Structure 1
Amino acid sequence: MTSEAVRLESIYKTYDNAVTALDGVTASFPAGSFTAVMGPSGSGKSTLLQCAAGLDAPTAGQVFIDGEELSAADDTAMTKFRRRRVGFVFQDYNLLPSLTVEQNVMLPLRLDGSRLPKPGLSVGGARRADRRRSRSVLERLGLGDRLGELPERLSGGQRQRVAVARALVSDPAVVFADEPTGALDMRSAREVLALLRTVVHEYGRTVVMVTHDPVAAAYADSVLFLADGRLAGSLSAPTADAVADRLAHLGDARGIGAAA
């Protein structure tokens, strides 16, 4: 893995209605880091995440994940790349209600047609290996006793833990989280945020999280601020109060581009 898990070079994103969501953003997310992306509504933070994750193509500029340029891949190659090297955690979990916890977590491995059995390992053996990996991740995240449960029988916090497990099972270079605590109560939110910190600091993954909540952002190593589609400063070792203060002053001339 390169020292940069994700790098954005002069990213622009303009929609058909001539709205510019990203206006020349250049940013780097180091490997093994936890970064929160924040800004007012319409600042471009969700668009940044979608472009960085390869879910949407920028109008101009380059995106690199784990040293590989995304624009160099066609749609089929891009889909395979995302399944192998990128994990996603969404606000509404995106779990399939008819699948068990274990089946939801195994789904990325089943969908990834590029994952061929190792020499000497049959297809059945590969599936058993995938099941062992899925169970190992679920046990590490405290869900080893919930393998056969359907999502409807889980709390919101437990569902989000399943979503985190699903994001991790393919051993991605980076996990993108879009408002992962937005649908959770305070206690569940703290548990999920602590889990994301564990993903970074104990398992060495990179997490990029979009959030509107200063308390959530305080769990990150650093915060990247956007305003009107442009970078508007950063904050290292954030606290909730410091994040809230910076957000309140994003429109000030002194706040734009200020470094912590």
Structure 2
Amino acid sequence: MFRRTDRRNQDHGTGPAAEALRLVKVTKTYGGAENAVTALDGVTLALPRGTFTAVMGPSGSGKSTLLQCAAGLDRPDSGIVLVDGAEMTGGTEAELTKFRRNRIGFIFQQYNLLDTLTVAQNTILPLKLARRRVNRARVEEILTAVGLGDRLGHRPDQLSGGQRQRVAIARALITEPSVIFADEPTGALDTRSARDILRLLQETVRVHGRTVVMVTHDPVAASYADSVMFLADGRLAGEMHRPTVDAVAEALAHLGDDVMAGV
């Protein structure tokens, strides 16, 4: 069952509804009693609407698990996840699927496009799955905005890696989600394509008003975000606003030091 928090202050940009994402004491453990690994250890955070946040940390820090639990791809063992003021934790698998389709967009490193579908067909797939009406003019508008207005009939094998990721961004935007989760979205791209995709993610926030949460290991990618959250051993280890490449790299090198608390 999905419970909604008080939204009376939404129009004034204050109160719970001003938050796109909130996690409260979220914990996730994998494995049995003797071999248990705590991937998330009571993580609590809140992200305002219309922001671009990068999540960073060493391998095994819990950043991918954080994304999966926050996006509803995996269930936490305990804790609460709220998206746009509505609680996602709890409920049946069918309810969780409906919740994701209505409120969440995804961008993956390997694009996750269907080779047999055109650019336009891949873009509208979430609408088809949710049995929602397709506005063809809106589809063309979004694909034009991501630079693919002349590629609507092309298939993925006719596109470059950067163009495929642009389709993935358009697909994430088409349902007008509250939050878009991006998992290493530039990991498979060359430097120029990666830079273009990161700028598109910025536009997704600044022009379309979406909230983007991006998991990345790359300080350059993180520098495009408004802020960076650092994870270590399944816990939040610090936060940085207005990140720069050098500052992020330095923070990662000292992750876990006491100084991280004041980054």
* TM-score using structure 2 length: 0.91
What SS does the aligned partner of 1:13 have? strand
The amino acid of 1:97's aligned partner reads D
- Is 1:249 matched with 2:221? no
The amino acid of 2:26's aligned partner reads I
Partner of 1:259: 262
Q: Structure 1 residue aligned with 2:118, among 91, 100, 107?
A: 100
- Is 1:175 matched with 2:175? no
What SS does the aligned partner of 2:259 have? coil
Structure 2 counterparts to residues 179-194 of structure 1, below 5 A: 179-194=184-199
Deviations 1:11-66 (A, max 9, x none): 10011241100001001111000000000000000000000001100011000001
Partner of 2:79: 61
1-structure distance, mates of 2:60, 2:78: 19
Deviations 1:55-93 (A, max 9, x none): 100011000001011124321111111111100000000
**Structure 1 residue 259: Cα displacement:** 2.4
Partner of 1:120: none
1-structure distance, mates of 2:256, 2:213: 24
**Structure 1 residue 140: Cα displacement:** 1.4
Structure 2 counterparts to residues 113-192 of structure 1, below 5 A: 113=131, 115=132, 126-127=133-134, 129=135, 131-192=136-197
Partner of 1:30: 48
**Structure 1 residue 109: Cα displacement:** 0.5
What SS does the aligned partner of 1:71 have? coil
Partner of 1:205: 210
Q: Which has the higher contact order (CA 8 A, sep 6+)?
A: 1
**Structure 1 residue 251: Cα displacement:** 3.2
What SS does the aligned partner of 2:176 have? coil
1-structure distance, mates of 2:71, 2:242: 24
CA RMSD of aligned residues (A): 1.1
2-structure distance, mates of 1:186, 1:13: 34
Moved over 2 A (4+): none
The amino acid of 1:255's aligned partner reads V
2-structure distance, mates of 1:72, 1:136: 36
Deviations 1:208-229 (A, max 9, x none): 0000000000000000000000
- Is 1:217 matched with 2:217? no
What SS does the aligned partner of 2:89 have? helix
1-structure distance, mates of 2:215, 2:139: 26
Structure 2 counterparts to residues 63-78 of structure 1, below 5 A: 63-78=81-96
* TM-score using structure 1 length: 0.92
2-structure distance, mates of 1:185, 1:255: 34
Query: Do the aligned partners of 1:54 and 1:78 also contact (CA within 8 Å) in 2?
Result: yes
1-structure distance, mates of 2:108, 2:262: 29
**Structure 1 residue 133: Cα displacement:** 2.0
Which runs of 5 or more residues in structure 1 are unaligned?
116-125
2-structure distance, mates of 1:96, 1:132: 22
1-structure distance, mates of 2:76, 2:89: 9
What SS does the aligned partner of 2:262 have? coil
Query: Do the aligned partners of 2:25 and 2:43 also contact (CA within 8 Å) in 1?
Result: yes
Aligned length: 245
1-structure distance, mates of 2:49, 2:24: 17
- Is 1:10 matched with 2:25? yes
Which runs of 5 or more residues in structure 2 are unaligned?
1-9, 11-16
